[in-house]
Amino acid sequence: MQVTVITIYRGQTAESYVGVVPGTLTEEQKTKLHDDFSVRDGDTDEDPDNIFFRTLEMTPAEDLKEVLNIDGE
Protein backbone atom coordinates (compact mmCIF):
# COMPACT_ATOMS: atom_id res chain seq x y z
CA MET A 1 0.00 0.00 0.00
CA GLN A 2 1.23 3.46 -0.86
CA VAL A 3 1.10 6.45 1.47
CA THR A 4 1.99 10.09 0.94
CA VAL A 5 4.05 11.89 3.58
CA ILE A 6 3.26 15.61 3.76
CA THR A 7 5.90 17.84 5.34
CA ILE A 8 5.40 21.54 5.98
CA TYR A 9 8.34 23.74 6.96
CA ARG A 10 7.44 27.16 8.37
CA GLY A 11 10.21 29.53 7.32
CA GLN A 12 9.50 32.25 9.87
CA THR A 13 9.61 29.93 12.91
CA ALA A 14 11.66 27.00 11.50
CA GLU A 15 9.00 24.58 12.73
CA SER A 16 8.22 21.41 10.79
CA TYR A 17 4.96 19.49 10.67
CA VAL A 18 4.42 16.02 9.21
CA GLY A 19 1.30 14.08 8.27
CA VAL A 20 0.63 10.88 6.36
CA VAL A 21 -2.34 10.09 4.12
CA PRO A 22 -3.19 6.87 2.27
CA GLY A 23 -2.42 6.66 -1.45
CA THR A 24 -1.12 9.31 -3.80
CA LEU A 25 -2.37 12.87 -4.19
CA THR A 26 -3.53 14.64 -7.33
CA GLU A 27 -2.18 18.07 -8.20
CA GLU A 28 -5.56 19.51 -7.19
CA GLN A 29 -5.32 17.86 -3.75
CA LYS A 30 -1.77 19.18 -3.30
CA THR A 31 -2.91 22.68 -4.22
CA LYS A 32 -5.83 22.45 -1.80
CA LEU A 33 -3.55 21.34 1.06
CA HIS A 34 -1.15 24.17 0.20
CA ASP A 35 -4.02 26.63 0.47
CA ASP A 36 -5.69 24.98 3.50
CA PHE A 37 -2.45 25.23 5.49
CA SER A 38 -1.74 28.81 4.33
CA VAL A 39 1.72 27.98 2.97
CA ARG A 40 3.52 31.28 2.21
CA ASP A 41 5.30 31.25 -1.15
CA GLY A 42 7.72 34.08 -0.53
CA ASP A 43 5.64 36.70 -2.27
CA THR A 44 5.86 38.86 0.88
CA ASP A 45 8.73 40.15 3.01
CA GLU A 46 8.30 37.20 5.39
CA ASP A 47 10.35 34.02 5.10
CA PRO A 48 8.65 31.56 2.75
CA ASP A 49 7.23 28.22 3.87
CA ASN A 50 7.67 24.94 2.02
CA ILE A 51 5.34 21.99 1.59
CA PHE A 52 6.63 18.66 0.32
CA PHE A 53 4.82 15.51 -0.80
CA ARG A 54 6.60 12.14 -0.88
CA THR A 55 4.80 8.95 -1.91
CA LEU A 56 6.22 5.80 -0.34
CA GLU A 57 5.38 2.13 -0.21
CA MET A 58 4.36 1.03 3.29
CA THR A 59 6.82 -1.42 4.84
CA PRO A 60 6.38 -3.57 7.95
CA ALA A 61 8.71 -2.34 10.72
CA GLU A 62 10.71 -5.59 10.73
CA ASP A 63 11.47 -5.15 6.99
CA LEU A 64 12.61 -1.51 7.23
CA LYS A 65 16.20 -1.28 5.99
CA GLU A 66 16.65 2.50 5.82
CA VAL A 67 14.90 5.73 6.74
CA LEU A 68 14.56 8.17 3.84
CA ASN A 69 15.29 11.85 3.88
CA ILE A 70 12.01 13.63 3.18
CA ASP A 71 13.24 16.17 0.62
CA GLY A 72 10.07 16.73 -1.41
CA GLU A 73 9.33 16.03 -5.05
Predicted confidence (pLDDT) per residue in 16-67, tens digit:
999 999 999 999 999 999 999 999 987 777 789 999 999 998 888 898 888 7
Q: Is residue 21 part of a domain?
A: yes
**Rounded average pLDDT over 1-19:** 92
* Boundaries of domain holding 32: 2-54
Say yes or no to pLDDT of 71 above 80. Answer: no
pLDDT at residue 72 greater than cutoff 60: no
Q: Is the pLDDT of residue 73 over 80?
A: no
Strand partners, 18: 7
Query: DSSP secondary structure string, 1-57?
Result: -EEEEEEEEETTTTEEEEEEEES---HHHHHHHHHHTT---S-SSSPPPEEEEEEEE
The count of structural domains within the chain is: 1
In a domain, 50, yes or no: yes
In a domain, 33, yes or no: yes
Residue 12 lies inside a defined structural domain of this protein:
yes
